[in-house]
Chains A and B, each alone.
Chain A
């Protein structure tokens, strides 16, 4: 038997199974159950390794993986950095990750985006007091929107 060229394009298609696999709609419905899952998808779409994203966000790789796979709310000050890295609209990302309530009036949503941008340029790390103040401010905005 002549030497079989295993390392060719056909090898890339090796798949066998008792089904034809899931449709993309079923994959999304079954596995994309947490908003934070979008982070891994954005990262892969932009072909960025976890090390690079973690470094850009000043967090560890374990923390990044934790955010990508859990329900934990992504910290407010990280969201504009994420939007910038992946070149996605900040307002939509804030909303998708649960930082803005869809029923908020447009003015308050714009204010939220301004605060997020301010948080991005407030320095590499917010002090504990700054984080508490930002949270209080954020809560005020949310409470205002309920009135």
Chain B
């Protein structure tokens, strides 16, 4: 799946692709996301509140036989701009983890639109699996406005870390797809 993203203040158009993660993705994460995260955290101190997950472990786990989770990458040119880990239960698709790259976070954001593309992919996957676009996730606090903005609703549940669970209803998912279609390449 290819979609348009936007680079820099001039909003120069780029093409970002969603692809299945492979064995080299974990290495790319360590070589690019980790040093970027360390740099920005030290440089911007407490203002840079990016949560780095153990993506190398998440990705490697998805290759273990019998595991239901699967990981996808958002690639712009050859740069890893986003990662998603999806899972399923009986009723809905679950986004176990989703993040744009450290350089796409906070005021240093280099590429805009990657997150929406990953949400579009997740809804399509939910449809494919027969869940009518429904999915859930537990949001980090800074990300809550984004999920509310795209139509997700707080379920009233919190996980062990106190993070709120959000649910994407089928009709809102359908509206998101319709709205996002013009970004597809």
B126 to chain A, nearest CB (A): 15
Assign chain B's interface to a size class: 35 or more
Knowing A7-B112, A12-B106, A12-B112, the reply to whether A17 touches B38 (Cβ < 8 A) is: no
Q: Is B95 at the interface (CB under 8 A from chain A)?
A: yes
Q: Which of A15, A31, A41, A69 contacts B142 (CB 8 A)?
A: A15
Contact A1 B31 (CB under 8 A): no
B36 to chain A, nearest CB (A): 5
Q: Is B131 at the interface (CB under 8 A from chain A)?
A: no
Question: Which stretch, A19-27, A75-83, A88-96, A118-126, touches the partner chain B?
Answer: A19-27
Give 1 or 0 for each of B97-131: 1 = CB within 8 Å of chain A CB. 11110001111010011011011000000000000
Q: Is B175 at the interface (CB under 8 A from chain A)?
A: yes
Name the residue on B nearest A21 (C-beta).
B51
Contact B140 A21 (CB under 8 A): yes
Q: Which of B6, B31, B143, B150 contacts A69 (CB 8 A)?
A: B31
A82 to chain B, nearest CB (A): 15
Contacts of B163 in A (CB 8 A): 20
Q: Which of B38, B104, B149 contacts A32 (CB 8 A)?
A: B38
Knowing A20-B161, A44-B35, the reply to whether A11 touches B51 (Cβ < 8 A) is: no
Give 1 or 0 for each of A1-41: 1 = CB within 8 Å of chain B CB. 10111110011111111111110100110011000010011
Contacts of A139 in B (CB 8 A): none
Contact B31 A15 (CB under 8 A): no
A52 to chain B, nearest CB (A): 16
Q: Is B43 at the interface (CB under 8 A from chain A)?
A: yes
Q: How far is the CA of A45 from the CA of B163 in the complex (A)?
A: 31
Q: Is B15 at the interface (CB under 8 A from chain A)?
A: no
Name the residue on A nearest B159 (C-beta).
A18
Contact A17 B51 (CB under 8 A): yes
Contacts of B76 in A (CB 8 A): none
- 11 pairs of residues in contact across A and B, judged by CB atoms under 8 Å: A7-B113, A12-B100, A12-B104, A12-B105, A12-B115, A13-B106, A15-B143, A18-B97, A21-B51, A24-B41, A32-B34
- Using CB atoms and an 8 Å cutoff, list the residues of chain A in contact with chain B: 1, 3-7, 10-22, 24, 27-28, 31-32, 37, 40-41, 44-45, 65, 68-69
